[in-house]
């Protein structure tokens, strides 16, 4: 009897612990999504319904729904009426218009700084609670990508389109650089620049501010595009460690003065110094002439027979560094989830500022899903990336975003059910499968159509 009583008490304590956990999650999501603090950062008129907090809620809700229309978002606000909606006669009498005009004005009125505040707050809530995954350090994979924007005059001026011998494209192109925490997939707010035109920037020039947001003494994984002295100097001044893949010619230049310290049948490790060449000093005035960074150089063959060249300021053995760098590919799938699943390439903004607002709201939506996936993974006792992002995203939207809950108890019940189903969204476990990156040959078009010229290339539509 005593043992049975102890088991009963233990079960009750476990249930109380789960309830407390769900209460904490409810409070956390309410704090992040409802965002009452946004109204303090950017106050609105006393009679305003679309306050800063409400507009942020709608922006994130739209992105969580894969970029649904403003009309759908307004109707969702009327139906769900979250706690952040201010007390108003139109709310009490259910006479709030479903027109998108007021919401559109609220979106324009909302400052980019307020959206960035939300984006950074969600990011910090994830990273600050994430334990180090490589010794005492966190690991991030950093990469760049491009997205096409709508053919609008203002976007065209800031993000010029690509051009070739046949003329300019109709689609403005933006360049993004973003870092993802390797273990969870959480994304920093990206750096944005133009890819073409007079104001074009390289992805390596966008990383300076980005590195300041990453916790100091983390490990950054990057590919060959970043295997230059300028980037190594940025890592060093930002107090970040790195593992960078290098091109053969750049690796050979550093290897020439390095000391061979270990070797095997198909690998070698060198100890050397990363110093700038005369050309790099000429092209990068910010580089000190006496810059010299102690590094290890590793060269080895991959499972596909490809020769890999790595440079790092870590002193771990080659097998540890190679295994660590092998996780860099995860940033490719993370970027794909943001671009494809959240559909950021179909953001219908007409101005650069609104594009930035919607992009940051997309990052918030992505990170909220990452947070939910992390909790589901803990329940399933698997790593977060073992669960499908798309599957977890579907559960999050359908089980939690499309319903209203009368109280915290109802939310806890729904949240527990959602986590249960999200924990089942496991990716197939196929050990030993590894494929080199390939692309399909472009198919020639069987029919030809008249090419449509963008508005800015038509003389009669040129601005006066």
- CATH number for the domain spanning 273: value is 3.90.350.10
Report pLDDT digits (tens) over 193-238: 999 988 888 878 888 888 988 888 999 999 998 999 999 999 999 9
How sure is the predictor about 453, in pLDDT bands with cuts at 50, 70 and 90?
low
Q: Which of 338, 368, 388 is the last residue of a domain?
A: 338
Q: Which residue has the tokens 């918030």?
A: 364
How do beta strands 293-301 and 219-222 pair? unpaired
| 380 within some domain | yes
| 66 within some domain | yes
142-160 in b/e burial notation, b at 16+ Cβ within 10 A? bbbbebbbbbbebbbebbb
Rounded CA gap, 381 and 416, in Å?
A: 15
- Residue with the larger pLDDT of the pair 239 and 85: 239
Least trusted range by pLDDT, from 45-49, 257-261, 405-409: 405-409
pLDDT value, residue 273 = 95
| 20 within some domain | no
Do 316 and 380 lie in a common domain?
A: no
How sure is the predictor about 11, in pLDDT bands with cuts at 50, 70 and 90?
very low
Report pLDDT digits (tens) over 44-95: 887 788 888 888 888 888 887 777 888 888 888 877 777 777 777 776 667 7
Do 306 and 372 lie in a common domain?
A: no
Rounded CA gap, 146 and 35, in Å?
A: 30
Report pLDDT digits (tens) over 102-121: 889 999 999 999 999 988 88
Is residue 326 over pLDDT 60? yes
pLDDT value, residue 124 = 82
| 12 within some domain | no
Do 271 and 359 lie in a common domain?
A: no
Do 221 and 276 lie in a common domain?
A: yes
Rounded mean pLDDT, 299-309: 88
**What DSSP element (H or E) covers 251?**
helix 248-255
Length of the chain: 464
SS3 state of residue 179: strand
| 161 within some domain | yes
104-141 in b/e burial notation, b at 16+ Cβ within 10 A? eebbeebeeebbebbbbebbebbbeebeebbeebbbbb
Do 180 and 119 lie in a common domain?
A: yes
Angle at 254 between CA 248 and CA 257, to 5 degrees: 135
The closest of 337, 429, 343 to 391, measured between CA atoms, is 337
Q: Which residue has the tokens 């196929």?
A: 430
Looking at residue 461, the DSSP 8-state letter turns out to be G
Rounded mean pLDDT, 297-305: 88
The set of long-range contacts for 392-400, using a CB threshold of 8 Å and a minimum separation of 24, is: 392/422, 392/425, 393/64, 393/341, 393/369, 395/421, 395/422, 395/425, 396/64, 396/368, 396/369, 396/372, 396/422, 397/64, 397/65
- Residue with the larger pLDDT of the pair 245 and 341: 245
Is residue 447 over pLDDT 80? no
| 257 within some domain | yes
How sure is the predictor about 27, in pLDDT bands with cuts at 50, 70 and 90?
very low
pLDDT value, residue 434 = 62
pLDDT value, residue 233 = 94
pLDDT value, residue 19 = 43
Do 158 and 34 lie in a common domain?
A: no
| 189 within some domain | yes
Do 360 and 413 lie in a common domain?
A: yes
pTM value surpassing 0.75: yes
Do 154 and 93 lie in a common domain?
A: no
Rounded CA gap, 405 and 25, in Å?
A: 15
Mean pLDDT for the chain? 82
Q: Which of 315, 338, 361 is the last residue of a domain?
A: 338
Rounded CA gap, 203 and 132, in Å?
A: 27
pLDDT value, residue 318 = 93
Report pLDDT digits (tens) over 32-58: 555 677 888 888 887 788 888 888 888
pLDDT value, residue 139 = 94
Is residue 437 over pLDDT 70? no
pLDDT value, residue 336 = 87
Segments forming the whole domain that contains residue 133: 114-338
Is residue 21 over pLDDT 60? no
Do 280 and 155 lie in a common domain?
A: yes
Asked if residues 384 and 370 have their Cβ atoms less than 8 Å apart, the reply is yes
| 2 within some domain | no
Do 118 and 69 lie in a common domain?
A: no
Report pLDDT digits (tens) over 160-189: 998 877 778 888 999 999 999 998 889 999
Do 206 and 103 lie in a common domain?
A: no
């Amino acid at each position: 009897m005593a043992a049975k009583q102890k088991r009963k008490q233990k079960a009750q304590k476990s249930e109380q612990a789960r309830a407390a956990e769900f209460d904490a999650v409810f409070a956390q999501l309410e704090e992040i999504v409802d965002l009452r603090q946004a109204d303090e950062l950017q106050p609105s008129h006393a009679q305003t319904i679309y306050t800063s907090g409400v507009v942020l809620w709608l922006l994130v809700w739209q992105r969580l729904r894969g970029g649904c229309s403003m009309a759908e978002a307004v109707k969702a606000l009327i139906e769900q009426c979250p706690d952040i909606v201010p007390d108003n006669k139109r709310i009490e009498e259910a006479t709030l218009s479903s027109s998108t005009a007021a919401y559109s004005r609220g979106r324009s009125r909302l400052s980019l700084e307020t959206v960035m505040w939300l984006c950074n707050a969600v990011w910090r809530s994830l990273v600050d609670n994430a334990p180090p995954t490589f010794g005492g350090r966190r690991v991030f994979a950093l990469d760049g990508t491009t997205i096409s924007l709508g053919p609008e005059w203002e976007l065209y001026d800031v993000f010029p389109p690509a051009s070739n011998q046949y003329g300019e494209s109709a689609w403005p192109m933006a360049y993004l650089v973003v870092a993802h925490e390797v273990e969870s997939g959480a994304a920093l707010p990206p750096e944005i620049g133009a890819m073409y035109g007079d104001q074009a920037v390289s992805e390596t020039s966008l990383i300076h501010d980005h590195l300041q947001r990453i916790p100091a003494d983390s490990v950054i994984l990057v590919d060959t595009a970043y295997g230059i002295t300028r980037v190594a100097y940025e890592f060093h001044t930002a107090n970040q460690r790195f593992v960078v893949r290098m091109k053969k010619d750049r690796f050979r230049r550093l290897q020439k003065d390095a000391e061979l310290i270990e070797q095997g049948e198909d690998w070698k490790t060198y100890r050397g110094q990363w110093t700038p060449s005369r050309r790099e000093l000429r092209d990068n005035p910010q580089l000190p002439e006496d810059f010299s960074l102690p590094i290890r150089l590793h060269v080895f063959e991959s499972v596909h027979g490809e020769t890999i060249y790595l440079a790092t300021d870590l002193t771990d053995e080659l097998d540890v560094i190679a295994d660590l760098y092998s996780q860099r590919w995860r940033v490719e799938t993370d970027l794909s989830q943001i671009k494809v699943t959240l559909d950021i390439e179909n953001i219908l903004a007409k101005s650069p500022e609104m594009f930035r607002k919607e992009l940051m709201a997309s990052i918030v939506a992505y990170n909220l899903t990452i947070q939910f996936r992390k909790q589901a993974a803990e329940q399933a006792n698997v790593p977060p990336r073992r669960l499908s992002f798309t599957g977890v995203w579907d559960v999050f939207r359908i089980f939690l975003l499309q319903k209203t809950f009368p109280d915290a108890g109802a939310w806890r019940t729904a949240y527990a059910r959602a986590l249960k189903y999200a924990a089942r969204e496991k990716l197939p476990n196929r050990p030993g499968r590894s494929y080199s990156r390939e692309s399909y040959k472009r198919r020639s078009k069987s029919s030809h159509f008249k090419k449509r010229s963008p508005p800015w290339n038509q003389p009669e539509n040129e601005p006066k």
